[in-house]
Chain A
Amino acid sequence: DSGVTQTPKHLITATGQRVTLRCSPRSGDLSVYWYQQSLDQGLQFLIQYYNGEERAKGNILERFSAQQFPDLHSELNLSSLELGDSALYFCASSGRLAGGLSTDTQYFGPGTRLTVL
């Protein structure tokens, strides 16, 4: 158990809909990362938040947005869903030290499996 929790575990929805995925980092971790893993693309980094602020951005679509709240939990919002958005979405956390380190170990949650029908 990594200490990172994600809800829900599974989500089934229809094209055009909007969903919110939730992540609670390990106690004290300041950074949260979101990843998408689909069968044909492998793992892709979407975005990183550090202590409430966006810190790094990967291949995140404009239809997707994220935020990190004062209690450090994070939400990933996916809107105007398409069939191709079906994937496993992972959250990871790191960095219990203020400032963080670029080499901090990331601890991954169990993922949310999103199916868009």
Chain B
Amino acid sequence: KNQVEQSPQSLIILEGKNCTLQCNYTVSPFSNLRWYKQDTGRGPVSLTIMTFSENTKSNGRYTATLDADTKQSSLHITASQLSDSASYICVVSAGAHYGGSQGNLIFGKGTKLSVKP
């Protein structure tokens, strides 16, 4: 069964500190892995997208890694800010892709990050 599991479920850190969020998946066939940031009550915003051949991708203070062998990904946030408080969602795309299809998208339940002053 295709699954995406994220840990921890929630995390509280102090402003300025770094943190790492984890994503483990059992999805086949794997196409790509995405990280989204979602503020409460709003639509998710894309942070990174990685294919099988990519093992790291950065977007400002966000750096995602992918280990396709162990089927693990992480999202590292550097020098956290209060505005980083949000849910971070890992999404893995499975299935064949043709003519614009992005396959079946399997979502993790997210990690809720709170950054305190």
B 5-46 binary contact with A (CB < 8 Å = 1; else 0): 000000000000000000000000001100000000111111
- Beyond A92-B43, A110-B42, whether A100 also contacts B100 by CB under 8 A is yes
Q: How many residues of B contact A (CB 8 A)?
A: 27
Instruction: Decide if B58 is an interface residue (CB 8 Å cutoff).
Output: no
A 89-108 binary contact with B (CB < 8 Å = 1; else 0): 01010110001101111111
Q: How far is the CA of A85 from the CA of B75 in the complex (A)?
A: 32
Find out whether the CB atom of A31 lies under 8 angstroms from the CB atom of B102.
yes
Which of chain A's residues have a CB closer than 8 A to the CB of B89? Answer: 42-43
Q: How many residues of A contact B (CB 8 A)?
A: 34
Instruction: Decide if A25 is an interface residue (CB 8 Å cutoff).
Output: no
Stretch of A12-20, A55-63, A73-81 lying at the B interface: A55-63
Find out whether the CB atom of B110 lies under 8 angstroms from the CB atom of A109.
no
15 contacts between A and B (CB under 8 A): A2-B43, A2-B45, A33-B105, A42-B110, A43-B44, A43-B89, A43-B107, A45-B104, A48-B102, A56-B95, A99-B99, A100-B100, A110-B43, A111-B41, A111-B43
B 55-73 binary contact with A (CB < 8 Å = 1; else 0): 0000000000000000000
**Could you say which of B43, B46, B109 has the most chain A C-beta atoms within 10 Å of its C-beta?**
B43
Q: How far is the CA of A56 from the CA of B96 in the complex (A)?
A: 9
